[in-house]
Chain A
């Protein structure tokens, strides 16, 4: 009897909780003030979480800025966050839930190419929209994805030309073993062939591997001028540290390193290396100076804005503009069309979306790391470069 009473009470409490939970969806407010739902899909755990936290911080700041400045014609943007824990299969699953259950207008998110490629068929089959904020290897287009990060013709092509002119001709290519470094290295070989450089070695390490002893030996014996790297995450950090411990002399040129990585490896290991991306914290213009200050006030975890944070931020700003431009900001189709030739004043410059291929015209910047671990911007392209995916 007592046991049955307990069971009944537990069931009663659980049903009460569920019913009150359901009640939230029926909250009041007129149609005009109803917030616009946007999905935010990043990993805050797992191997890619370092980069994704930066993307997430940038996106968060952009949405906050939009909401503080009056939202979308008075309506606030409400973000629905989903964490896919660095697992591409989970990313697809969470994207589906965001589109079907939460009925978001668009999703900002994903980081690695594997995750994006898993989410691509989901947004395409459900006619939704993904804003992809990270730089990647190009060679992809979709009506349902807006690519806000830089691609090889805006990054690698210019970088290789610059390195050939200013540093040396013999390249050793290195990356983790997945699609992004493999495609980048393939393209690097083409650019080198066209520019009179040569490839003295090409190595891929298992994703997440932190043991570079055999690779470092190969680098030593092939004697390159430049070590051209697309290593990411823990592998990237371990590589710089071990490279420095082995006292190798060739210049490291990276497509992926950023201010956070430099802090992890210490000033000695990063000294005199080069990085090519579309944004550095030390970019000098008034909008960026305000942004860096606001970042320090909002994101209080001791990090500084990197190109990943800028990607997340630009993605959020573009989305805000598109939502404002569209007649019905909850109509994904109209919002997608509103992205065409959209221009924003970003801390990384005046950038715009190329309507032909849904990619972004971005500045290309090359930075050199000094002995204190700070990045000096030593090259900026004259104007934003048209993307050619």
Chain B
């Protein structure tokens, strides 16, 4: 019983990290319809910014996270203005171009920093035990932080004027433009926001995972999987999706081993997509 609780708690932490990485994907892929294969590299940019901020500039972790958001958002703005905007409505070309950008970013970071993993100090040390279950304090921080970011993002999208504009453009771009919304500018800001969230995910993962130039790949795969399972444009769906993926991986990993768990979780995702191709909580589209 203790170990099931431990697995569930640890699965919650994995789910939180997966959700954080997938939130940006929901915005960029779900709301904007852009398939960004450089998503993993935006996460990597956030992680490296956290490294530079804490180790090279000596700033505290909160400042590092803010900088990570800003750096990734900046990268996102550059990507959107220079490349993505010109390939609007052409998914294959967008995929190719963003894949090229991902390779570019990987090699740039490899050349500047080297391929070795960089050290980012964990901001909250220590753990506590409930019986045989150990929970690091940083894990609790991760879960709370991601929940807060998710709540903030949903509020942004549902309650603010900016959020209304984004949703209007998603539903019917032409009509939104007729009503005076500068869709190009909203696009850039939205893309920047999604990228910034990816950067936050990188900074969050940096103290407990590895910060290296090629770290982005698994995050990209996980983000896509999670948001597709949950419903690509639905925040709630993606949260459910990440819980599903995180908890199943943890539980199955505890019962058998991580390799089998991975296989079974992928099979589960394939099954969900097979029977509900739009995901579990798909948004109605006209």
Which of B13, B118, B138, B258 has the most chain A CB within a 10 Å cutoff? B258
Q: Point out the residues of chain B lying under 8 angstroms from A260, CB to CB.
A: 116
A-binding segment of B75-83, B181-189, B247-255? B247-255
Residue A126, interface by CB 8 Å: no
Asked if B210 and A266 sit within 8 Å, CB to CB, the answer is no
Asked if A203 and B258 sit within 8 Å, CB to CB, the answer is yes
Q: Point out the residues of chain B lying under 8 angstroms from A234, CB to CB.
A: 117, 209-210, 212, 215
Asked if B115 and A205 sit within 8 Å, CB to CB, the answer is no
The 8 A CB mask of A196-226 against B (1 = contact, 0 = none) is 0000000111101111011111101100000
Cα distance, A53 to B111, chains bound together (Å): 12
Residues of A218-259 whose CB lies within 8 A of B = 218, 220-221, 233-235, 237-238, 241-242, 245-248
Q: Which of A204, A221, A245, A263 contacts B208 (CB 8 A)?
A: A245
Cα distance, A47 to B11, chains bound together (Å): 26
Answer whether A263 and B210 are a contact pair too, CB < 8 Å, given A214-B253, A246-B127, A301-B114.
no
Residues of B61-119 whose CB lies within 8 A of A = 106-107, 110, 114-119
Residue B179, interface by CB 8 Å: no
Residue A45, interface by CB 8 Å: yes
Asked if A213 and B11 sit within 8 Å, CB to CB, the answer is yes
Residues of B169-227 whose CB lies within 8 A of A = 207-215, 217-218
The 8 A CB mask of A99-114 against B (1 = contact, 0 = none) is 0000000000000000
Answer whether A266 and B121 are a contact pair too, CB < 8 Å, given A45-B107, A46-B214, A237-B210.
yes
Residue A44, interface by CB 8 Å: yes
Which of A46, A213, A215, A218 has the most chain B CB within a 10 Å cutoff? A213
Asked if B210 and A210 sit within 8 Å, CB to CB, the answer is yes
Asked if A217 and B6 sit within 8 Å, CB to CB, the answer is yes
- Report how many residues on chain A are interfacial, defined by Cβ distance under 8 Å: 45
Q: Which of A210, A213, A237, A238 contacts B250 (CB 8 A)?
A: A213
Cα distance, A241 to B118, chains bound together (Å): 12
How many residue pairs between the two chains, A and B, have CB atoms under 8 Å in the bound complex? Answer: 125
Q: Point out the residues of chain B lying under 8 angstroms from A205, CB to CB.
A: 258-259
Asked if A210 and B119 sit within 8 Å, CB to CB, the answer is no
Asked if A242 and B11 sit within 8 Å, CB to CB, the answer is no
Residues of B98-148 whose CB lies within 8 A of A = 106-107, 110, 114-119, 121-122, 125-127, 132, 134, 136, 138-139
Answer whether A242 and B208 are a contact pair too, CB < 8 Å, given A206-B262, A217-B10, A218-B254.
yes
Cα distance, A153 to B212, chains bound together (Å): 33
Asked if B14 and A211 sit within 8 Å, CB to CB, the answer is yes
Could you tell me the distance in whole angstroms from the C-beta of A70 to the nearest C-beta in chain B? 32
Could you tell me the distance in whole angstroms from the C-beta of B103 to the nearest C-beta in chain A? 9
Cα distance, A265 to B116, chains bound together (Å): 11
Asked if B258 and A206 sit within 8 Å, CB to CB, the answer is yes
Residue B7, interface by CB 8 Å: yes
Asked if A210 and B209 sit within 8 Å, CB to CB, the answer is yes
Residue A49, interface by CB 8 Å: yes
Cα distance, A221 to B13, chains bound together (Å): 19
Residues of B221-271 whose CB lies within 8 A of A = 249-250, 253-254, 257-259, 261-262
Asked if A264 and B259 sit within 8 Å, CB to CB, the answer is no
Could you tell me the distance in whole angstroms from the C-beta of A229 to the nearest C-beta in chain B? 14
Q: Which of A45, A213, A241 contacts B207 (CB 8 A)?
A: A241
Residue B3, interface by CB 8 Å: yes
Could you tell me the distance in whole angstroms from the C-beta of B107 to the nearest C-beta in chain A? 7
Cα distance, A245 to B128, chains bound together (Å): 10
Q: Point out the residues of chain B lying under 8 angstroms from A263, CB to CB.
A: 116, 119
Residue A303, interface by CB 8 Å: yes
Answer whether A213 and B115 are a contact pair too, CB < 8 Å, given A46-B214, A237-B210, A245-B138.
no
Residues of B1-35 whose CB lies within 8 A of A = 3, 6-7, 10-11, 13-14
Could you tell me the distance in whole angstroms from the C-beta of A374 to the nearest C-beta in chain B? 15
Residue A23, interface by CB 8 Å: no
Which of B10, B136, B213 has the most chain A CB within a 10 Å cutoff? B10
A–B pairs, 9, beta carbons within 8 Å: A45-B214, A205-B258, A211-B249, A213-B13, A214-B254, A245-B125, A245-B138, A248-B134, A263-B119
Task: Report which B residues bind A (CB closer than 8 A).
Answer: 3, 6-7, 10-11, 13-14, 106-107, 110, 114-119, 121-122, 125-127, 132, 134, 136, 138-139, 207-215, 217-218, 249-250, 253-254, 257-259, 261-262
- Beyond the given A209-B218, A213-B250, A247-B134, please list 8 additional residue pairs across the A-B interface where CB-CB is below 8 A: A45-B107, A45-B214, A53-B114, A203-B257, A210-B218, A211-B249, A213-B253, A217-B6
